[in-house]
Chain A
Amino acid sequence: MSPDRRLVGSVVAVAVVLLTLAVGFVSATALRSFEAELRPELEREATIVGSIGARTLQRALDLGVPFDGLTGLDEYLGSLLATREGVAYLMLTDAAGRAVAAAGEVPAEFAGLSAGTPPPGRGAVMRALGASYDAALPLHEAGALAGWLHVGIARARLDTALDDMRWDVLIVLLVVLLATAEGLRFILSRLVEQPIGMVRRLQQRLAAGDWTARAPGDLGAEAGSVARHFNVLVRRMNDRWDRLCWLAAESGAGRRAAAVQDAVRDRLRFGATSVQDALAGGGASARLPLFLFVFAEQLSTSFNPIFAMELAEGRGGVLGAALPLVAFVAAVALLTPWGGEMVARHGPRRALLLGLVPAAAGHVGAALAQDLVTLSLARAVCGAGYAIVTIACQVQLAREAPSGRVARSLGGFTAAVMTGAVCGTAIGAVLADRLGFRLTFALSALLLLGIALLAWRCMPAGGAGEEKRMGVWQGARAAFADPHFVLLVVLAAIPAKVLLGGFVFFLAPLELRELGLSQAAIGRNVMLYGLCMLPAIVVGAWIADRTGRGGSLIVVAGLLNGAGLMLPFWLPADVALPVAIVATGVAQGLAAAPMLALIPSLALRPGAPTSAAMMSFLRLAERLGSVVGPPAAAALLAAGGGVQAMLVLGLVSAATALGYALALGLGRMRREAVA
């Protein structure tokens, strides 16, 4: 392991551990203080419900009805219970704690307040009773304590609220860690990896006898000092060479002196017009802009349909609410190939900067939209920007991938998109709550401006594929003429996205709801997908780079996904569904980087279009899978139920994986036969 990589690993480990501990400590305090503040609020609710019930009874007592003469108590308590959500039971006892009337499920361990318990001056006597909080409100008859009305608030409700809160705190912790890790990765790359890489490149040039290189003079820290010393050294050697040339000219023995000079030139190169070695962009130069771009785009995810419904003013119903989303997805899908073409024509940096223009215009348009059609058009324009920017970053990551680390570098694309989506959605919901929908859109546009500055400053220019430029249609024909690419698309990329859209985003939430899970719990279960996918991407990319068997990994991932989806046949649904989501996350994560990493090598084949174009077609196919997934799952659900739908999706995954394995095997056999 090189010193820079070891250093980066160590610094990231230190940062992650310290961040987790510090943010975890703050979050734990937050949770504690929240529990301390929320509990009395929930108890107050119980007290108020009780006081409403007690007031009616108290009025009867005040009107002279004796406590023992109260009638219809069970019916009254029953009706009160029916109107109050979250109340577990209501019980009336006399002053000695003996039960008089009850409604709801009174816990077995219930015991009335003993005789002589003093009534509180205000509110209720609170106590924990089994699985409930018991609020006891006093009833008075002729100035003396006559009885107690007990209101039981199910503790499960409080516990669920606190559980939700704990998960929310964990999600906040995760968002903070993911966002800071992305920032740290970029800073480490600029501060450590790239300067060290530059010094190493310069050393290699010297070792190869190239004394024309100059280090950039604007570096700071140790790298800057090394660069200055390097330039002095190169200058010193060039001065010696100049002296040598002067000596040769002055020697008067032209031919013999020229032979000496030629002998030097054979081994060393000097130059007055030197080439300055610049810092390489590195993968981080594309990864941070991509993360920030997806983050900005996803800020509106949580409220897009709500905003659409507001603008539609009730017209258009659910379909109207979905229109902006459909417009965005359609624009991304349709314009992705043109995005690839644009990247091939202008290079990643210029294409990214150009792509940011429609994206920002789309956000501004959405912020100013006064009706649903304008909003949908604005979102379609955003989609056009998304198609260009994502491809530009993907191609830049492929360009910057060091030899033997292509899958890991390209795995960074999926990871950045996922972390950007997770962080953007979480922060966007908060921002929308504070600033409103329109200002959140405007903030996204502002963020894009920052991304443009970042990309302009950090991403290396160039990279246009002059030699292979071909139109979209010609590029598509060339790409799909390659059977390896077709097999990858049909047997791996599309099935993976069909499963993702069909199972994780459609079928799983419905089936989890069938199990009686709350919305928050469903959300957490679906989030398992992303949480498992992120580490799986790293593992998959590492295995693919180490073994060079990306194709086999795609097969294994397809089989794993298939097996996960068939679990409801062997396991109870409440276990099988989360495990199937985890299996899908792991499988999709394992296959993500190897799939992308196959593209650069396919693009090198004769007649193939550029890597940018092939990636854009692969992404187009993935979008197609994402679009087909939910309706396919819905049709299967309608035809045979959830378990059967999962079985069919699992079989599709396993069958396509086996088909891909067969194709790989046949290809290998043919190559061996030719060899």
Chain B
Amino acid sequence: MSFGVSFASRLGGVLAGMLLLGCALAAGLNHLKFERMLMEQQAKVLEILAADLGNTVENSLALGVRLAGVPGAQALLERSRAAETLIGGLAIADAGGVVLFDTDRQNLGTTLPRAVFDPHGAATPWRFRDPAGYGIGAPIVNAFGQLEGAVVLRYGRAAVDEKLVAALLAMVQSGLLALAIAVPLGAALIHLVTRPTRRWFAAVEAAMQPGAAREPLAEGLQQAIAEADAVLGDAERRLEAIAATVAEHSADAQPEAVAQ
């Protein structure tokens, strides 16, 4: 038989592609899911820390100290940042968003953008994301329930990324292992299950060759060919016989015509 890639090979290729796609989808979707859960968990932990810092400042406010004058606030922020590696930066801003204390002292006196701290929507801790990274805000409320300011905690995703890469590598490794076993196995199984159909195709093709031997798998086709062959052969014989008879008659009649 002369043809390009056989359908069994094509099916094997499709199966390999499906397996690759399936493993990639599983790894990709799980990776995205992990990312979401780990980011959520990290944010949750940092929210506890931000809220705790807010509580500490609120305790000072309860003693009658103004927010801008809370003793040791700058040191508290720097200590907290040093104690928790996840924290990228800490700041305390007043109700107008002006930064009063910040682990990055360059920011002192600047005003936080509304996307980071909106005094009207800061009744409970909130999360934000800006080009600089991720952040959590915790309100600072005085003893009268009035908003005095907020603790703003910034963090990155390096720790999460580290875990994600580890998980992704594990998935990629197992995916490659699965593919290394499943693809050849699939090709072999496809070769096996397509054997009857390949035989059928071969039989059909062979049955169409002139003078083909009997092909049990293409009996109907051979019968149709034989029938047409017989009908045409019979007609050919009959027409040749007619032609021969007519030729004889013509030959007999021609000398008479010449004589006349």
A interface, CB within 8 angstroms of B:
3-4, 6-7, 10-11, 14-15, 18-19, 21-23, 25-30, 32-34, 37-38, 41-42, 44-45, 48-49, 52, 84, 161, 165, 168-169, 172-173, 175-177, 179-180, 183-184, 187-188, 191-192, 195-196, 199, 203, 206-207, 209, 211, 220-226, 229-230, 232-233, 236-237, 240-241, 243-244, 247-248, 250-253, 256-257, 260-261, 263-264, 267-268, 426-427, 430, 433-434
Contacts and interface: CB of A to CB of B under 8 A. Distances in A.
B30 A179 contact: no
Interface in B199-248: 200-202, 204-205, 208-210, 220-221, 223-225, 227-228, 231-232, 235-236, 238-240, 242-243, 245-246
A199 B239 CA distance: 33
5 contacts: A172-B25, A225-B201, A229-B205, A233-B208, A243-B236
B190 A14 contact: yes
A222 B6 contact: yes
Contacts of A28: 174
A22 B1 contact: no
Contacts of B178: 21-23, 25-26
Contact of A268 (B26, B231, B242, B243): B231
B12 to A, nearest CB: 10
A4 B194 CA distance: 9
A27 B167 contact: no
Contacts of A225: 1-3, 201, 205
Interface in B3-30: 3-7, 10-11, 14-15, 18-19, 21-23, 25-27, 29-30
B45 interface: yes
Nearest to A426: B29
Contacts of A229: 205, 208-209
B171 A207 contact: no
Nearest to B15: A15
Contacts of A203: 204, 220-221, 224
A233 B198 contact: no
B231 A264 contact: yes
Given A45-B45, A48-B48, A244 B235 contact: yes
B186 A18 contact: yes
For the complex of A and B, the 7 pairs showing the least CB-CB separation, nearest first, are A29-B174, A222-B201, A10-B193, A225-B3, A22-B178, A221-B7, A30-B30
Contacts, number: 254
B82 interface: no
Contacts of B27: 26, 30
B239 A7 contact: no
A22 B19 contact: yes
A434 B35 CA distance: 11
A222 B1 contact: yes
Interface residues of B, number: 83
Nearest to A25: B178
B66 interface: no
A232 B202 CA distance: 16
A255 to B, nearest CB: 10
Nearest to B25: A176
B179 interface: yes
B221 A206 contact: yes
A172 B11 contact: no
B38 interface: yes
B8 to A, nearest CB: 8
B68 interface: no
Contacts of B198: 222
Interface centre among B163, B177, B223 (most CB of A within 10 A): B163
Contacts of B88: none
B42 interface: yes
Nearest to B186: A18
B197 interface: yes
A240 B239 CA distance: 13
B236 A247 contact: yes
Given A15-B18, A169-B30, A251 B246 contact: yes
Interface string B144-181: 00000000000000000001001100110111011100
A232 B221 contact: no
Contact of A191 (B7, B173, B245): B7
Contact of A263 (B6, B179, B200, B235): B235
B34 A22 contact: no
A440 B186 CA distance: 35
Given A33-B166, A180-B18, A241-B232, 10 more contacts: A7-B193, A11-B194, A14-B190, A26-B27, A30-B26, A203-B221, A224-B3, A229-B205, A236-B210, A247-B240
A510 to B, nearest CB: 26
A267 B231 contact: yes
Contact of B4 (A196, A221, A434): A221
Given A225-B1, A253-B246, A34 B204 contact: no
Given A222-B6, A263-B235, A433-B32, A14 B208 contact: no
A226 B205 contact: yes
Nearest to B27: A26
B250 interface: yes
A48 B50 CA distance: 12
B232 A191 contact: no
Given A3-B196, A18-B186, A25-B174, A180 B21 contact: yes
B223 A207 contact: yes
Contacts of B44: 45
Given A41-B45, A52-B48, A179-B25, A11 B179 contact: no
Given A37-B163, A184-B14, A233-B225, A23 B22 contact: yes
Q: Which of A26, A247, A250 has the most CB of B within 10 A?
A: A26
> Among the interface residues A236, A240, A251, A427, which one has the most CB atoms of the partner chain B within 10 A?
A251
Contact of A38 (B41, B166, B231): B41
B47 to A, nearest CB: 10
A633 B224 CA distance: 65
B62 interface: no
B37 interface: yes
B123 interface: no
B108 interface: no
Nearest to B210: A236
Nearest to A55: B52
B105 interface: no
Nearest to A44: B45
Contacts of A22: 19, 22-23, 175, 178-179, 182
A244 B225 CA distance: 17
B65 interface: no
A24 B248 CA distance: 85
B48 A207 contact: no
A18 B19 contact: yes
B3 A38 contact: no
Contact of A221 (B10, B21, B38): B10
Contacts of A173: 26
A21 B193 contact: no
Contacts of A45: 41, 44-45, 48
Interface in B127-145: none
A41 B42 contact: yes
B75 interface: no
Contact of B228 (A10, A172, A209): A209
Given A222-B7, A240-B236, A176 B26 contact: yes
B34 A42 contact: no
A180 B27 CA distance: 15
A237 B185 contact: no
Nearest to B218: A203
B236 A196 contact: no
Nearest to B36: A433
Contacts of A169: 30, 33
B61 interface: no
B112 interface: no
A223 B7 contact: yes
A450 to B, nearest CB: 16
B122 interface: no
A45 B52 CA distance: 13
Nearest to A34: B34
Contacts of A84: 48
